[in-house]
Amino acid sequence: MNTKVIAEIGINHNGDINIAKKLISLSAIAGCQYVKVQKRNPDVCVPEHQKSKPKSTPWGDMTYLEYKHKIEFSKEQMKELFEYSNSLGINFFASVWDKDSVDVMKDITNIGKIPSALITDLDLCKYARDNFDLLIISTGMSTEEEIDRAIKIGKPDLIFHTNATYPCPVNELNMNYIDWLKRKHPTKEIGYSGHEYGLVSTFAAMSIGAAWIERHVTLNHNMWGSDHLSSLEPAGLFKLVKGIRDIEKAFLQKIGPRYVMQGEVAKREALRK
């Protein structure tokens, strides 16, 4: 096993580049290999009927469109975050929500992700495929037919099983879908992106073949924003990575007949007649 771990910052930075850097630093110290944010052009992504809706925020009352612009990083800020991540030895990339965002991120990183909400946008899937060396898709909120079309057109390298409910009840995680994806797409890498409380089911994903693990991270569950409650706080992120590495160690031995482990020798000599 060589499980890769993505710390999903998403929009938990609340538009503050210093918070984003703290979360990147946390992710690197915890041992994650990748850290991810989201990139949008709000003028394109926000539906017309929502643009003028009032939104109460920590920065005052504004329209929903103004709020989405408020928490969005510019290309220069994305470059700054990429360089900061690189200095810490962690790979930085983004979920891209539109072609404009692909154009921004392709000049910064060779990794891109199509979020669950956008895998039915086949033009975006193809455009992202043409512009990133490593393309990832998530399958939440999608039917099998929608996923099949996204895979056919987007040709992703990595497919994430996820449930798009935040947080997701454990009885709706459908973890067996990981095995289904592995059987159906044997040439693809399969991962698990968890939005549930706790870590147990995320660890279980490894045992059925998830080679990549992604979890949202936050500095504090009580911060303002939609995703903080279903994210891992710093202690939880450390527990996640340590647990993943411990599980990998527990599977170091190849399948085969049992033999006496080194630590058992003394006990065998003391207890066996």
Q: Do residues 149 and 137 make contact, with C-beta atoms less than 8 angstroms apart?
A: no
In this prediction, residue 186 carries a pLDDT of 97
- E strand residue ranges, the chain: 4-10, 34-39, 54-57, 60-63, 91-96, 111-114, 134-138, 158-161, 189-194, 212-216
Given a cut of 80, is residue 1 above it in pLDDT? no
Structural domain range at position 152: 4-271
Given a cut of 90, is residue 3 above it in pLDDT? yes
In this prediction, residue 225 carries a pLDDT of 86
In this prediction, residue 226 carries a pLDDT of 84
Q: Average the pLDDT over 81-102 and give the result.
A: 98
What residue has token string 């991962």?
191
pTM of the model: 0.95
Q: Average the pLDDT over 38-53 and give the result.
A: 96
In this prediction, residue 166 carries a pLDDT of 87
Label residue 19 by pLDDT band (50, 70, 90).
very high
Beta bridge partners of 90: none
Given a cut of 90, is residue 229 above it in pLDDT? no
In this prediction, residue 230 carries a pLDDT of 87
Tokens coding 2: 């060589």
Residue 54, H or E segment: strand 54-57
pLDDT tens digit string along 153-198? Answer: 999 999 999 999 989 999 999 999 999 999 999 999 999 999 999 9
- What is the overall mean pLDDT for the chain? 96
Q: Do residues 64 and 55 make contact, with C-beta atoms less than 8 angstroms apart?
A: yes
Q: How far apart are CA 269 and CA 200, in angstroms?
A: 37
In this prediction, residue 154 carries a pLDDT of 98
Label residue 273 by pLDDT band (50, 70, 90).
confident
Q: Average the pLDDT over 82-89 and give the result.
A: 98
Tokens coding 164: 């798009």
Given a cut of 90, is residue 265 above it in pLDDT? yes
Q: Average the pLDDT over 18-22 and give the result.
A: 98
Please state the domain count of the chain. 1
In this prediction, residue 97 carries a pLDDT of 98
Q: Average the pLDDT over 242-262 and give the result.
A: 94
Given a cut of 90, is residue 27 above it in pLDDT? yes
Q: What CATH number should be reported for the domain holding residue 179?
A: 3.20.20.70
Q: Average the pLDDT over 119-136 and give the result.
A: 98
